[in-house]
């Protein structure tokens, strides 16, 4: 129990990040599925398999580079650079005209 209190901030951050990631995945599965069917005529199965393959390949490549760079430069700098790269994405989505 003592270890839990000592790491309460980190545990809270982990829970919040996981909740946000879960919410994003839920949105993607709902909104992108409808968009794929309406705009591109893809069936649900085609979209899901394509989406999983694309995300899996991207995540594998990102993990490989992040792991290599973390060994070389340290975990914290790589994590901070990743956050900085991702920071403009929500703003780009909010300001997108269509």
Full-model pTM: 0.52
The arithmetic mean of pLDDT across residues 6-34, rounded, is 84
Q: Could you tell me which residue, 3 or 49, shows the higher pLDDT? A: 49
Q: What percent of the chain has pLDDT over 70?
A: 96
pLDDT at residue 68 greater than cutoff 90:
yes
The arithmetic mean of pLDDT across residues 21-45, rounded, is 79
- What does the DSSP assignment read for 9-69? HHHHHHHHHHHHHHHHHHHIIIIIHHHHHHHH---HHHHHHHHHHHHHHHHHHHHHHHHHH
């Amino acid at each position: 129990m003592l270890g839990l209190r000592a790491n309460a901030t980190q545990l809270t951050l982990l829970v919040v990040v996981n909740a946000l990631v879960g919410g994003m995945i839920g949105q993607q599965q709902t909104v992108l599925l409808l968009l794929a069917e309406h705009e591109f005529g893809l069936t649900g199965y085609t979209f899901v398999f394509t989406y999983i393959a694309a995300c899996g390949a991207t995540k594998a490549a990102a993990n490989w580079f992040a792991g290599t760079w973390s060994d070389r430069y340290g975990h914290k700098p790589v994590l901070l650079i990743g956050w900085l790269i991702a920071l403009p994405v929500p703003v780009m989505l909010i300001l997108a005209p269509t």
